[in-house]
Each structure stands twice: as C-alpha cells, then as structure tokens.
Structure 1
Amino acid sequence: MRDVSWQDIDAATVPVVSRANDYPEETVGPPHNHSRAQLLHGATGVMIVSTVHGTWVVPPAQGVWIPPRVVHQVSMLGKVSTRNIYIDRDHLLGLPEECRVVAITPLMRSLLFETADLPFDYPPDSRAAAIMTLLLHELRAMETLPLGLPFPEHARLAARCRAFLEQPSVHAAIDAWAASLSMSRRAFTRLFRHETGLSFRAWCQQACLFTALPRLNAGESVTAIALDLGYETPAAFTSMFKRALGVPPSRYMKA
C-alpha cells in the first residue's frame, strides 16, 4: 500500500501519481483539496463525497472524479480500501470540470491496482509511465453514473433539501415545498431547476436512490427500503433502480 503525503503529491513532477489506503469503518476525513485532479476508487465499501455544491455516493468498486482545488470531505461506510490517482493540470484536457461518480471498467481497475506497486517518481519512457498514460486514455472514456445529488446555493432551499435526505419519500409534494418557501408553484419550479439543474421530481428520485445504496450495502432488504421510501411495492422500487443503474438492486450489489 502506498500512503504518501499530500505535500509529496502536490510537489510531484510526473503527470500522474498514485496513492492507496485502507480505512476502518465510519472514517470521516477532514475537508481538504488538492492542486491536482483526483480519481478516488473504492475497491470495497461505500464512500460519500461532499462539497458545497452537492453530495455523491460511491458504491463498491466504482469511483468519483474530483477536479483540482475542489474542497471535499469523504465519509466511509464500512471498511474501505481505496486506490487513487492524481493528475496534474497540464493533462486534464477532455476531462470533467465538476465532481461526478464514474464507472470503473475491469481494465481501469486492474491499472489502478497496478499503480500501487509502481515507483512514485518514474522516468518518462518507463513501464510505469506507459501505465499512467493508458490510465489517462481510459479516464477520458469513463461513464458517468447518476449518483450525484446537487445541492442549491439558495440557503432556505438547501435546508429543505437536507431535511428531505433525513426522511426521503417518493411522495414528496412540490406544492408543500413551494408553500414552505412562501413561493408559487411556478416560481419554485423555476428556482429549483436553476439551483440544481434537475426537475423537482428527478431530484427527489435521485435522493431516494442516493439514500438506498448505503442501506443495500449494509445488507438491508429491498422490501424494507422500498416501503420506507414510500414505494407501493418492492417491484416499483426495483423498477426505478433498474432504470437508473441498468440492473436490479440484488444484481447490482452482487456485482
């Protein structure tokens, strides 16, 4: 395992450097940022990455992309083993400018694990450099997963969104939210989309999916989660889950 300091990472002269860590259950890191972009891959366990602009839930075996100088905090649900790479600003062309959860392909996963055994400072014509270059190519092809939850900057609306995460429900009523902010339905709808980039209904569904994944990872049943979220049947929840992530909950967690 390679646990190097942030100072060494920021001072490195090579385009891509790697870091690997094991974290005990319920570890919560301090808010921090890096001069380089970061791909954070959780080989095991669930991670939650939070910034002032939103929150992202990272399922087992997937990753999160974090651009340079974005202040973020990482919370670990269960034991988490991570593999990270940090990319300097001169090699970010074609890569995202905002945080997002990304699918880690089998090839990318193998490359990430290989980086933990590579020299930290490697020659440009070495095997290590070739592996890092291939990782950069793979990064530009990575698929975004719908597991981000954007938060508004509007203070009262943000407070309402955070309260919803404490008790999410698919039956959230737009009129009730608008009334709580003393706004008309039309004005609220415009504000919500402007602040989050999503419709109210899409955001609520995303929030329900967001809160379901850590519970699935903890071993809770699909039936219990579905009923808690307000779905009429487990099948309705499974249908929503499959539309969002391509497979039903049981297959997703097994994968």
Structure 2
Amino acid sequence: MPHGREIFRGDAAELGRLHESRWQWLEEAVGPAVALPTEYPDGYHVPRHRHSRSQLLHALVGVVLVTTKHGRWMVPPDHAMWIPAGIEHSVEMLGDVSMRSVYVMPNAIAGLPEGLRVVGITELMHSLIVESEKLPQGGELEGRAALVMGLLLHEIPNLPERPLGLPFPSDPKLAALCRRFVAAPSPHATIDEWADAAGMSRRTFTRAFQRQTGLSLSTWRQQACLFAALPRLADGEPITRVALDLGYDSVPAFTTMFKRMLGASPRGYMRGARDAGESPRRGGGPLAA
C-alpha cells in the first residue's frame, strides 16, 4: 500500500476493498509504529474491525465516535482515542474528518495504556504526530526518523486521560434506558425514575449500574449530555441554544457541568484553552477528534 494521504470515497464495495488493503498492509508492516493520514467524508462509517497493533486515533478536523462492545467514546478537539490491540471497534465520522492514526506494536515500549481511553493531545504530541506522517512507513527507521518516532512512543503514556467514554450496561433493560437517554438527553433524569423503569429498587439499580458501567448514573448522564453537546458546539451553535435544548435551566448550569467534566468552559474548551497543556489549535469547520 503506498504511503500518503488516502481519501476514502466511493461505493461500499470499493471502500471495503480499500480498508481490507490497508489492514493487510498494517499486518505486514515492520517497526514499532506506523503513522498514516486519511481523509474521510461526513457520515462515513468504518465497519467493525481489529488490529494486531494498538491505535492512537487523532483527527485534525471533524468529530469522531468510536464504538466497541464496552461502550462509545467521543473524540473531541485536541484529543485522541487509544484503542489497544485486538479490540474490535467501528468509527463514525461527524463532519469531514482529516484523521491521523499511529499504529503501535503492543510491546513497543513499557507503560503503554492497557485499556480504551480518550486522551488529551499536547502541543508536543501534536507536532510529533504531524511530523511522523512525513516519515517512511512500514519499515525499520534510522537516524532522525527513529528519534522522532521513539519520542512519540514515549509520550503516549504521558498523555492525560479525559472522561469522555460512555460505557453501556450489559443488562438489556438498563441498556435500553441508556439508549433512550442518548437519543433525548436531559439533566433532570433521576435515579428513582430509572430504577422504576427498570423494575428495580433504588439500591439495586444503583449497584447494578455502577457495577456494569463503572460510573454513577449522575456521571454517566453528564457524559451523555457532553456527547450531545460537543458536535453542536463544534458546528458553531450558540451555547445558549445547546444548553436549553438539552434541558438545562440556564447557561450557567450547563457551563458548570461542562467545566466539571472537561476542566474548561464551553467557550474556552472550543478555543482549545486547556489548563493541562493541550494545544489551542482549530481547523476550519467542525472541530477535530
């Protein structure tokens, strides 16, 4: 497979062949890491697949949703998704997406993350990802190229984790409640309402939800609201409209939730003004994932 920017467009059969070609090429590539750029159109869906390499999925433009059996993860501006080797996943594009992925051998270095996670992209990591895509791919690297890729690998364990996962419970009744909430999120849903709908006591529901998702209902609900808000904010919708549409009584209430979850106000977050050192980069149109 030639190295360079690929544009994934065409009918389903053609796109399927392109993906199969890329995945086969990745399986045959050597070296600890491979960096590949790809351009995807709005609404494109990469079907379920898995790699023998872990993937650091980052986009310069566009919003990406990653789905696995463990839940869904949103990859918003100046972030990336870490997908461990062997995890089956699909990817959905919200807006035109300029994706930059680094595929990493599981034993490339010590300390690589073991689980799925969304991480913040620092200025240094952004520069390394952009530089790595210019390097020869698929073979052993030497000299400067090896140093660039080596530093990129060593920065992966240092990337700050962000709470942007949305795991779904395994219980069908609880999962159905979660799906309905994602379709129509509201900050006013209560534990008692969900417990009644699931036919459980409050205590049983609370324990079951926490055990199956790893989150309290309150935290899960706030993250689901972020899932609904971020693409709209990325598209330039006014904060007031988004907050009121999601059922918040006021913009300050929405802003308080947003800041608690992501560490910045919606306006500051969309500018990329990150306290943890993430880059304030912005592309045109929908924001990066």
Q: Which amino acid aligns with 2:84?
A: P
Q: Which moved more, 1:123-132 or 1:64-73?
A: 123-132
Q: Which residue of 1 aligns with 2:78?
A: 61
For normalisation by structure 2, the TM-score amounts to 0.85
Q: Corresponding residue for 1:236?
A: 253
2:192 is equivalent to residue 175 of structure 1: yes
Report if the CA contact (8 A) 1:37-1:67 is conserved. yes
Could you tell me which of 228, 240, 260 is aligned with 1:223? 240
2:211 is matched with 194
Q: Does residue 161 of structure 2 align to residue 144 of structure 1?
A: yes
Q: Which amino acid aligns with 2:238?
A: S
RMSD: 1.4
Report Cα offsets for 1:151-192 as digits up to 9, x if no partner.
Answer: 111122111111110011110021111111111111001000
* 2:145 is equivalent to residue 119 of structure 1: no
Q: Counterpart in 2 of 1:128?
A: 145
Which position in structure 1 is the counterpart of 2:16? Answer: none
Q: Measure, in 2, the Cα distance between the counterparts of 1:126 and 1:6.
A: 27
Question: Which residue does the alignment assign to 1:253?
Answer: 270
- Tell me the residue number matched to 2:182: 165
Structure 1 runs of 4+ aligned residues shifted over 3 Å read 1-4, 121-125
Mapped to 1, the partners of 2:195 and 2:259 lie a distance apart of 30
Tell me, in whole angstroms, the C-alpha distance in 1 between the residues paired with 2:76 and 2:247.
Answer: 23
Matches within 5 A, 1:45-60: 45-60=62-77
- CA shift digits 1:66-109 (9 cap, x unpaired): 00111111111111101111111222531222211110111111
Whether contact under 8 Å (2:209, 2:216) holds in the other structure is yes
1:162/1:92 Cα in 2 relative to 1: closer, same or farther (>3 Å)? Answer: farther
Q: Separation in 1 of the partners of 2:41 and 2:108? A: 33
1:103 aligns with 2:120: yes
- When normalised by structure 1's length, the TM-score is 0.96
Distance across 1 between alignment mates of 2:73 and 2:138? 31
What do the CA deviations read for 1:111-130 (whole angstroms, capped 9, x no partner)? 11111111114445322111
State the distance in 1 between where 2:117 and 2:240 align. 29
Q: Distance in 1 between matches of 2:172 and 2:51?
A: 27
Matched, 1:154 2:175: no
2:107 is the counterpart of 1:85 = no
For 1:249 and 1:28, locate their aligned partners in 2 and report how far apart those are by CA, in whole Å. Answer: 27
Identical columns (%)? 51
* Partner amino acid, structure 2, of 1:231: Y
Mark the runs of 5 or more structure 2 residues left unpaired by the alignment.
7-20, 273-289
Q: How far apart are the structure 2 equivalents of 1:191 and 1:82? A: 37
| Aligned partner of residue 247 in structure 1, secondary structure | coil
Structure with the bigger RCO (C-alpha within 8 Å, sep 6+) is 2
Secondary structure, aligned partner of 1:119 = coil
Residue ranges of structure 1 left out of the alignment (5+ in a row): none
CA contact (8 A) 2:52 2:86 kept: yes
SS at match of 1:158: helix
Counterpart of 2:263, as a letter, is: G
Alignment partner of 1:42 is 2:59: yes
CA distance in structure 1 between the aligned counterparts of 2:66 and 2:228, rounded to whole angstroms: 13
Q: What letter corresponds to residue 271 of structure 2 in structure 1?
A: K
Distance in 1 (CA, whole Å) between partners of 2:110 and 2:179 is 34
Report if aligned partners of 2:30, 2:139 keep a CA contact under 8 Å in 1. Answer: no
CA distance in 1, matches of 2:127, 2:194: 46
d(CA) in 2 for partners of 1:128, 1:9:
19
SS at match of 2:45: coil
Query: 3-state SS of the aligned residue for 1:79?
Result: strand
